[in-house]
Chain A
């Protein structure tokens, strides 16, 4: 069998230009396929990582995003009395009332503004978000107009370094800290003291209440109790589910876009492979006849040509994969339609995407080589050898 693979590889090498052109076509297809999948995956991963499985987020019923949700003080107070909530080290309830608003900020290289999330936080907000660390400076003091900026925002937006000041709501907000939340959505947020924020925006209500359950399995009963209560008109979700759902529309759009593009591109690549393989069959008809004369059967000829086409497509696919792996150094930021705010994320090449890409290359090779291989197998020996 090794001889066969060697035979196919050498044939590919002989028609070098054609092989390279067809291979490049395959590589491009896989590159495009992977890129779009990686964007979708990167977005999804970021938002999934943003939640904690033990945390519960409560919003007004029917709210698709924190920005449109409204929770009155009285309702928040009722939520804080839930017995299932974990306690913080200092004895207080591990629960935070938060306010989410959007402000326009300008990226370093843009003259058009983006919507950035400002989250008014409570005493325990940082504790509730395990993945968030302060890497420079400190958290804002309660009651002050100080802010801590997510590392991604600080990096990409104007005037948000440590010590800079932001002006909105008729006051200046000083950046006293930079926080890093890894690849999660919190890196794209700015946090401020909630009471100060509420005053600045004249909003006497909260957007959401977040708390941690002592026991994860209490979630369903807690959810039911909150949602059944007619006074409250609230809904409860696991934090991970909530953030995951926020990427769904975009992720789905990207997946559909990626798949449609992949189909179109692969049609082109398969046709390219077919042209190449048909030419190979035509040029090697005497060889095919010789092999048949020597005793190789039609099926073996068929498999041989399909194998050759597959080697070509897999080769191109691997090149495409390698190229797209470099995209992992890229950070993309875009508006998330569902939250209407900015989210930044890294492209992610997951194991699933690698497998899909390889299978896709395999499929392209088989489809591209099939019809030419059938033609090769159906040649009559005497015609192929031109003995008549």
Chain B
């Protein structure tokens, strides 16, 4: 197809200009993909939620504990299959910089409720058997070079003191979006320590984790559980795991919105640059388009030439940008370590990248192609330059 040849040659005529434009698009698509992946990471907790899990916590706030004695009453509610409990520990490993989530939990029931944490059977048994044991995620184990049998020490912030744990199990996530940076240990172990030092705080948990048999009845069951403790000293708030995780996301919504706005601005900037390039390209070749018209070519042909050129430029940039996203993400993740537990480039993100490139390509072509279509044929006779 001669037109296709003309199109390709035109796109690379002004080689420097085209290269620069493609470069700009590559950078922008790369950044956009990154921002979207950061937003996805923010929601990773929400994505990992199961509709068959409920979270019960003190209605006052997450920082106020609940009595352990609630457990039996919750268990008796119809539809509740498993009840586990736990407490955010917030321990520090050597220095504050080495952040990872760590929880004191009821081991057997907690692991039952989280089939996403895959642990070899012997390791699981060893963990449950040893009260001083802990199970660590694969990623955090890699980060600090931990092996099974190692003893680690966490400095308590909420529960003061230095707490020793022995690593008996390492879990890996079932899917790439499972958080592999967490550490779990026995609630009993912490509780025993509290009974000695702060007896008033003992026998209290931060949350109950409830497994239900029918996700469709989630709302009902939640209401029933809360009804049990209404007008008591520690009223509860029960919600699906997803709603609970969304609560966290909502707290830092302002930042998320900022990042989303910035992503949009990024696209606007690409649009400006590509529009500018196409406008220049077409303006310089107006007499050529007039010549084509004089030779008998239709507006369809002219449009195809221009839109085609514009789309080729944006798609080339997008492809480079998408390809570069993967190695860049790897570098970023390696640098962030456990601060960013999940950084996964989804198919949707890539699709969105392509869609954006296509839309920008088309939009940038609109004004210039209209100009080319409407150029008076007489211009073909004007001397260029």
A residues in contact (CB < 8 Å) with B: 17-18, 21-22, 24-25, 28-29, 31-32, 35-36, 39, 60, 62-64, 67-68, 101-104, 110, 112-115, 168-170, 201-202, 204, 254, 257, 261, 264-265, 267-269, 271-272, 274-276, 278-279, 332-335, 337, 340, 342
Instruction: Tell me the complex Cα distance, A115–B237, Å.
Output: 14
Q: Does B129 contact A (CB under 8 A)?
A: no
Q: Is B276 within 8 A of A18, CB to CB?
A: yes
Instruction: Tell me the complex Cα distance, A279–B250, Å.
Output: 47
- Chain B residues with CB under 8 A of A36: 258, 262
Task: Looking at the assembled complex, report how far the CB atom of B239 sits from the nearest CB atom of chain A, in whole angstroms.
Answer: 10
Instruction: Tell me the complex Cα distance, A274–B20, Å.
Output: 8
Q: Is A332 within 8 A of B276, CB to CB?
A: no
User: Which among B59, B60, B200 has the highest number of chain A CB atoms within 10 Å?
Assistant: B60
Task: Looking at the assembled complex, report how far the CB atom of B194 sits from the nearest CB atom of chain A, in whole angstroms.
Answer: 12
- Chain B residues with CB under 8 A of A24: 272
- Chain A residues with CB under 8 A of B266: 264-265, 268
Q: Is B60 within 8 A of A169, CB to CB?
A: yes
Q: Is B273 within 8 A of A268, CB to CB?
A: yes
Q: Does B279 contact A (CB under 8 A)?
A: yes
- Chain A residues with CB under 8 A of B193: none
Q: Is B250 within 8 A of A110, CB to CB?
A: yes
Task: Looking at the assembled complex, report how far the CB atom of B123 sits from the nearest CB atom of chain A, in whole angstroms.
Answer: 32
Task: Looking at the assembled complex, report how far the CB atom of A315 sits from the nearest CB atom of chain B, in whole angstroms.
Answer: 15
Instruction: Tell me the complex Cα distance, A120–B275, Å.
Output: 59
Q: Is A170 within 8 A of B270, CB to CB?
A: no
Q: Is B237 within 8 A of A271, CB to CB?
A: no
B residues in contact (CB < 8 Å) with A: 16-17, 20-21, 23-24, 27-28, 30-31, 59-64, 90, 96, 155, 157-158, 160, 200, 231-233, 237, 246-247, 250-255, 258-259, 262, 265-266, 268-270, 272-273, 275-277, 279-280
Question: Which B residue sits closest to A257, measured CB to CB?
Answer: B259
- Chain B residues with CB under 8 A of A28: 265, 268-269, 272
- Chain A residues with CB under 8 A of B200: 202, 204
Task: Looking at the assembled complex, report how far the CB atom of B37 sits from the nearest CB atom of chain A, in whole angstroms.
Answer: 14
- 9 cross-chain pairs, A with B, having the tightest CB-CB distances, nearest first: A335-B251, A112-B250, A271-B24, A102-B61, A334-B254, A21-B276, A264-B31, A272-B273, A332-B254
Q: Is A113 within 8 A of B247, CB to CB?
A: yes
Task: Looking at the assembled complex, report how far the CB atom of A110 sits from the nearest CB atom of chain B, in whole angstroms.
Answer: 7
Instruction: Tell me the complex Cα distance, A320–B10, Å.
Output: 35
The one of A68, A275, A340 in contact with B21, judged by C-beta atoms closer than 8 angstroms, is A275
Instruction: Tell me the complex Cα distance, A102–B60, Å.
Output: 7
Question: Which B residue sits closest to A18, measured CB to CB?
Answer: B276
The one of A103, A114, A257 in contact with B60, judged by C-beta atoms closer than 8 angstroms, is A103
- Chain A residues with CB under 8 A of B253: 334
Q: Is A275 within 8 A of B17, CB to CB?
A: yes
The one of B31, B237, B269, B279 in contact with A25, judged by C-beta atoms closer than 8 angstroms, is B269
Instruction: Tell me the complex Cα distance, A202–B203, Å.
Output: 14
Question: A101-B61, A169-B60 are contacts. A269–B269 as well, Cβ < 8 Å?
Answer: yes
- Chain B residues with CB under 8 A of A268: 24, 27-28, 266, 269-270, 273
Q: Is A340 within 8 A of B273, CB to CB?
A: no
Q: Is B272 within 8 A of A18, CB to CB?
A: no
Q: Is A272 within 8 A of B272, CB to CB?
A: yes
Q: Is B251 within 8 A of A29, CB to CB?
A: no
Q: Is B250 within 8 A of A104, CB to CB?
A: no
Instruction: Tell me the complex Cα distance, A242–B203, Å.
Output: 32
Instruction: Tell me the complex Cα distance, A332–B251, Å.
Output: 12
Q: Is B279 within 8 A of A18, CB to CB?
A: yes
Task: Looking at the assembled complex, report how far the CB atom of A202 sits from the nearest CB atom of chain B, in whole angstroms.
Answer: 7
Given A63-B157, A101-B63, 9 more A-B residue pairs with CB atoms under 8 Å apart are A21-B272, A25-B273, A32-B265, A60-B160, A64-B96, A115-B62, A264-B28, A271-B21, A271-B273
Q: Is A62 within 8 A of B155, CB to CB?
A: yes
Q: Is B158 within 8 A of A275, CB to CB?
A: no
The one of B28, B157, B246, B255 in contact with A64, judged by C-beta atoms closer than 8 angstroms, is B157
Q: Is A334 within 8 A of B252, CB to CB?
A: yes
- Chain B residues with CB under 8 A of A112: 246-247, 250-251
Question: Which A residue sits closest to B32, measured CB to CB?
Answer: A264
- Chain A residues with CB under 8 A of B20: 271, 274-275, 278
Instruction: Tell me the complex Cα distance, A67–B88, Å.
Output: 14
Instruction: Tell me the complex Cα distance, A168–B24, Å.
Output: 55
Question: A271-B24, A275-B17 are contacts. A265–B269 as well, Cβ < 8 Å?
Answer: yes
Instruction: Tell me the complex Cα distance, A238–B155, Å.
Output: 25
Task: Looking at the assembled complex, report how far the CB atom of A94 sits from the nearest CB atom of chain B, in whole angstroms.
Answer: 29
Instruction: Tell me the complex Cα distance, A169–B61, Å.
Output: 11
Task: Looking at the assembled complex, report how far the CB atom of B182 sits from the nearest CB atom of chain A, in whole angstroms.
Answer: 17
Q: Is B63 within 8 A of A102, CB to CB?
A: yes
- Chain A residues with CB under 8 A of B16: 278
Q: Is A104 within 8 A of B251, CB to CB?
A: no
Instruction: Tell me the complex Cα distance, A272–B233, Å.
Output: 63
Instruction: Tell me the complex Cα distance, A204–B28, Å.
Output: 56
Question: Which A residue sits closest to B156, measured CB to CB?
Answer: A62
Question: Which A residue sits closest to B92, measured CB to CB?
Answer: A62
Q: Is A334 within 8 A of B276, CB to CB?
A: no
Task: Looking at the assembled complex, report how far the CB atom of A31 sits from the nearest CB atom of chain B, in whole angstroms.
Answer: 8
Question: A39-B258, A104-B237, A115-B61 are contacts. A276–B276 as well, Cβ < 8 Å?
Answer: yes
Instruction: Tell me the complex Cα distance, A272–B280, Å.
Output: 12
Q: List 22 A-B contacts (CB under 8 A).
A: A21-B279, A28-B269, A28-B272, A62-B157, A68-B157, A101-B63, A103-B61, A112-B246, A113-B247, A168-B59, A202-B200, A204-B200, A264-B31, A267-B24, A268-B269, A275-B21, A275-B273, A275-B276, A275-B277, A278-B17, A335-B251, A337-B252
- Chain A residues with CB under 8 A of B254: 332-334
Instruction: Tell me the complex Cα distance, A102–B57, Å.
Output: 13
Task: Looking at the assembled complex, report how far the CB atom of A356 sits from the nearest CB atom of chain B, in whole angstroms.
Answer: 18
Q: Is A279 within 8 A of B280, CB to CB?
A: yes
- Chain B residues with CB under 8 A of A264: 27-28, 30-31, 266
Instruction: Tell me the complex Cα distance, A24–B233, Å.
Output: 59
Task: Looking at the assembled complex, report how far the CB atom of A320 sits from the nearest CB atom of chain B, in whole angstroms.
Answer: 11
Question: Which B residue sits closest to A335, measured CB to CB?
Answer: B251
Instruction: Tell me the complex Cα distance, A21–B28, Å.
Output: 17
- Chain B residues with CB under 8 A of A31: 265
Question: Which B residue sits closest to A250, measured CB to CB?
Answer: B255
Question: A22-B276, A25-B273, A32-B265 are contacts. A104–B60 as well, Cβ < 8 Å?
Answer: yes
User: Which among A170, A279, A337 has the highest number of chain B CB atoms within 10 Å?
Assistant: A279
Task: Looking at the assembled complex, report how far the CB atom of B102 sits from the nearest CB atom of chain A, in whole angstroms.
Answer: 14
Q: Is A335 within 8 A of B61, CB to CB?
A: no
- Chain B residues with CB under 8 A of A60: 160
Question: Which B residue sits closest to A15, measured CB to CB?
Answer: B280
Question: A21-B272, A268-B27, A276-B276 are contacts. A67–B251 as well, Cβ < 8 Å?
Answer: no
